[in-house]
Amino acid sequence: MIGRSTFLLAGILALTTAAHAQTAASKIASERALFAKIVEIPTVEGQPAEFKKLTTLLAAEFRKAGITNVIIKDHDNTQTMIVRWPAAKPSGKKPILLMAHMDVVAAKASDWKYPPFKFREEGGYYLGRGSNDNKAALTGIVLALQYLRAEKFEPTRDIIVLFTGDEETIGNGARRAATEWRDLIDAEYALNGDAGGGSVFPDGRVEGFGIQIAEKTYADFRLTAVNRGGHSSVPRPDNAIYALANALTAVERHRFPAMINDATRASFEMLAKGDSGQFGELLRRYLADPQDRETADLLEAMDPGSTRTRCVATMLSGGHAPNALPQKAEANVNCRIFPGVKTEDVRQQLQALSGPDVTVSAAEGSQTPETAPSPMRDDIVQAYRAAVATRFPNAPVLPFQSAGATDGAFLRAAGIPVYGFGGLWSIVGQKEGAHGLDERVWAEGFHGQVPIWMEMLRRVAGN
């Protein structure tokens, strides 16, 4: 016989479960709504009013949580936001800096299936320009700090937030933060939400989470061919477009020397342990002999940007009339330069490849600083592993070097170690389109990042 108390307990459990589900659903809806607002503000280059809309929204969100030390810097036709949550129980340790960027790559609406700045949901993804790069992580940082405040978390060191507005362009937000605004952002180290994160197989098995400890140097070079021109009815061998085309073909075919450093070695070693297939075999061969060019090329084909400096043509222009010989032809070549390689050395190599009829010059203001990897810290890796374990127990955490460049380079150059940290995860084999069409982020990963950020901060900024 089932007693009355059993029925009562069952009823209480049912109500509690229903209330919890309702609370969780409400929380997800609230997070989604904030993310939608942030994505739908088109913070692209040359739109200062849109950046003001976003910083106004973000400042209100921080103040709603009781974080009132908010500074907005107007500069270079954009804005940078610096926020400080002072330590409640100061331990004497230097602050921790959290980083993300507010700006996004411009989107040509006619190329998109739907308006790029209209937030939408489809097939388990949230879509919109900037949803993946970098507004998901930015929103995750804001939400994590709000929830930590709500649960009365008392940090033992200051937590500083740096949100920049020109990471995708000139990088002056981070450059100035690392120099003239250094007193506002100085920290023991930074956790950069624009790098790091995880990947999960479609069946739910976790592949791993990466912590970025190094990044390549970004640099643009202009290849320019000039000519006296003339009438197209009298062609000559000295043609600016042909000269430029030959130079670009030489750049396309060139392979810079294979290289390895502490960041890529550590990443390759951990990946090789868990891969018994062709990729794992290539990794083991490369680790045994990093100068093996053939293995480096095969590995590069499977994991682009991992073994060397890479340069690629990205923009092209030439000629001035359809019935005239071209007087000028110009191309932009974008390079991602392996740490330890000088930008000037790359320019000289491009010049040698291009020949005497093409001039190679560095695009002014395009270069990020040349930096060495941040030192591996066991305390940070262990904190990251524990934070990820709140969702994915025993998930591998891999140090890595990113092929792309971030604001972190400016801080590394100024002596602040930077660690790419992300709670976001993607689905293995599924493209998310950062900088491309129909950019998207896995919705479960977006919401799941928040407790990972929270646990990370409890461990590095708590007792």
Q: Please state, in angstroms and rounded to a whole number, the distance separating the CA atoms of residues 443 and 119.
A: 12
Dihedral (Cα; 116, 118, 121, 126), 10-degree rounding? 60
Q: Please state, in angstroms and rounded to a whole number, the distance separating the CA atoms of residues 236 and 228.
A: 11
Question: What residues contact 379, with CB distance under 8 A and at least 6 apart?
Answer: 460
Q: Which residue type sits at 71?
A: I
Contact 228, 240 (CB under 8 A): no
Question: What residues contact 86, with CB distance under 8 A and at least 6 apart?
Answer: 69, 158
Each residue's pLDDT, cut to its tens digit, for the chain (463 residues) gives 445 555 556 666 666 666 666 688 899 999 999 999 999 999 999 999 999 999 999 999 999 999 999 999 999 999 999 999 999 999 999 999 999 999 999 999 999 989 999 999 999 999 999 999 999 999 999 999 999 999 999 999 999 999 999 999 999 999 999 999 999 999 999 999 999 899 999 998 898 899 999 999 999 999 999 999 999 999 999 999 999 999 999 999 999 999 999 889 988 988 888 788 899 999 999 999 998 989 999 998 888 888 999 999 999 999 999 999 999 999 999 999 999 999 999 999 999 999 999 999 999 888 899 998 999 899 999 999 999 999 999 899 988 998 888 999 999 999 999 999 999 999 988 988 788 899 999 999 999 999 999 999 999 999 7
Q: Please state, in angstroms and rounded to a whole number, the distance separating the CA atoms of residues 240 and 227.
A: 6
Q: Please state, in angstroms and rounded to a whole number, the distance separating the CA atoms of residues 109 and 126.
A: 18
Q: Which residue type sits at 15?
A: L
| Cis previous bond, 192, omega within 30 | no
Q: Which residue type sits at 463?
A: N
CA angle, residues 158, 136, 407, in degrees to nearest 5: 60
Q: Please state, in angstroms and rounded to a whole number, the distance separating the CA atoms of residues 325 and 257.
A: 37
Q: Please state, in angstroms and rounded to a whole number, the distance separating the CA atoms of residues 346 and 256.
A: 9
Q: Which residue type sits at 129?
A: R
Contact 103, 43 (CB under 8 A): yes
Q: Which two tokens stand for residue 436?
A: 């491309």
Give the distance from CA 21 to its chain's centroid. 33
Q: Which two tokens stand for residue 459?
A: 């461990």
Q: Which of 246, 249, 251 is nearest to 221 (CA)?
A: 251
Place of tokens 């209330």: 19
Q: Please state, in angstroms and rounded to a whole number, the distance separating the CA atoms of residues 397 and 361.
A: 40
pTM summary value: 0.88
Chain length of the chain: 463
Phi, psi of 402 (to 5 degrees): -85, 145
- DSSP letter at 462? -
Kindly write down the DSSP assignment for every residue of 138-175, as one continuous string.
HHHHHHHHHHHHHTT---SS-EEEEEES-TTTT-HHHH
Q: Which two tokens stand for residue 165?
A: 């507005």
